[in-house]
Amino acid sequence: MTARLADIAAQAGVSEATVSRVLNGKPGVAAGTRESVLAALDVLGYERPVRLRQRSAGLVGLITPELDNPIFPALAQVIGQALTRQGYTPVLATQTPGGSTEDELTEMLVDRGVSGIIFVSGLHADTTADMGRYEQLRGQGVPYVLINGFSDKVRAPFVSPDDRAAMQLAVTHLTALGHSRIGLAVGPKRFVPVLRKIEGFRLAMKERLGLQEAEAEELIQHSLYTLEGGQAAAAALIGRGCTAVVCASDMMALGAIRAARQQGLRVPQDVSVVGFDDSPLIAFTDPPLTTIRQPVQAMGQAAVRTLLEEIGGTPAPHSEFVFLPELVVRGSTASGPGQRRGPA
């Protein structure tokens, strides 16, 4: 206990006697000092005494599926900054393969007494997941907002990019360059953003090229949201004669470029590649990536604003706020080749 008191006191910049007074609920400690001690407990990973947990009203949880994909750290940064400006302390909780699940992270944040939670690309986006977990959270009186992936089974505010419009932008760009054999590399079919991208892709291919649904279906390849996943999907699509590949993430797009080069094809001269997200540093790849920019700044700020309204007792509409993406043209797309080149 003495060692723990010393650690907390050093972290908070106060005396051990002050830490002891706060932990034992004794009077005579300034509010700012008390908050410093409680924050030190959180930073060092100590459980707050039960009677003090309600003083964690300034904490807001943020749950992300991973941090390998650069779009998630980018969103976390925007959300964290917006919360900090409003006087809240963001608590980032990240799922890891074989590690904590979303439910376990949610329980941990609730035990910490967070004021609310923002879920990014969570189980709410999985059409096969049980949405009862979110009703249970609502029953515990914890407000939350969900980013990416709408479900009409969850009574909460959602924030999403317009995935259908994103595909319209990509296909319109590529057909204007003369491509007629355009492939789509996306994640597993059970996810809402994937289903929406497929809808947008089919519609755009019908409007721009007159392709029927069955014809467009042959040009869709499901894979993982990773560089390796993009590589595998693009290899299959190039094998089907695609001269352009639209990818559901920038990481997949980097894999698509690798797949083209492995087949002796050049990007963009032989194969054009479009990403999705406009992740940080993606403008500096070789070639710089043409991509669909997620409005990360606007989405992150909207999520925070909506959550704080809920926390403040003004429930936001239980509907979806949809943000328009933007096409950013760089060096990975060019005019379609005069004739299709097969695998080298």
CA angle 70, 171, 268 (to 5 degrees): 70
Which residues share a beta bridge with 63? 93, 119
Helix axes 31-44, 16-23, angle to 10 degrees: 90
- Please report, as a single letter, which amino acid is at residue 309: E
Running DSSP on this structure, what letter comes out for residue 56? G
Does residue 53 contact residue 112 with C-beta atoms inside 8 Å? yes
Look up residue 342 and give its two tokens.
Answer: 């097969």
Say what the pLDDT of residue 338 is. 66
Q: Given the DSSP bridges, would you call strands 326-328 and 290-293 parallel, antiparallel or unpaired?
A: antiparallel
Q: For residue 229, what are the CA distances in angstroms to 74, 100, 116, 236?
A: 21, 23, 34, 11
Domains of the chain (ranges plus CATH)?
2-55 (1.10.260.40), 59-161+297-323 (3.40.50.2300), 163-294 (3.40.50.2300)
Distance between CA 212 and CA 205 in Å, rounded?
A: 8
Say what the pLDDT of residue 57 is. 47
- Residue numbers in the chain where pLDDT is lower than 50: 54-57, 339-344
pLDDT single digits (tens) 253-295 = 999 999 999 999 999 999 999 999 998 889 899 999 999 999 9
Does residue 115 contact residue 143 with C-beta atoms inside 8 Å? yes
Q: Give phi and psi for 260, each to the nearest 5.
A: -60, -45
Distance between CA 167 and CA 315 in Å, rounded?
A: 32
Distance between CA 19 and CA 46 in Å, rounded?
A: 13
Say what the pLDDT of residue 55 is. 41
Does residue 201 contact residue 216 with C-beta atoms inside 8 Å? yes
Helix (H) or strand (E) holding 64: strand 59-64
Say what the pLDDT of residue 1 is. 54
| 210-213 LR contacts (CB < 8 Å, sep 24+) | none
Q: For residue 324, what are the CA distances in angstroms to 77, 156, 292, 294, 314?
A: 20, 21, 10, 8, 26
Residue 91 CA to chain centroid, in angstroms?
16
- Please report, as a single letter, which amino acid is at residue 330: R
pTM assigned to the model: 0.80
Which residues share a beta bridge with 276? 292
CA angle 280, 283, 286 (to 5 degrees): 125
pLDDT single digits (tens) 214-224 = 999 999 999 99
**Residues sharing a CB contact under 8 Å with residue 228, sequence separation 6 or more, in sequence order:** 255
From 304, 306, 312, 314, select the one nearest 84 (Cα to Cα): 304
**Residues sharing a CB contact under 8 Å with residue 11, sequence separation 6 or more, in sequence order:** 40, 43, 44
Helix (H) or strand (E) holding 194: helix 192-209
Say what the pLDDT of residue 32 is. 80
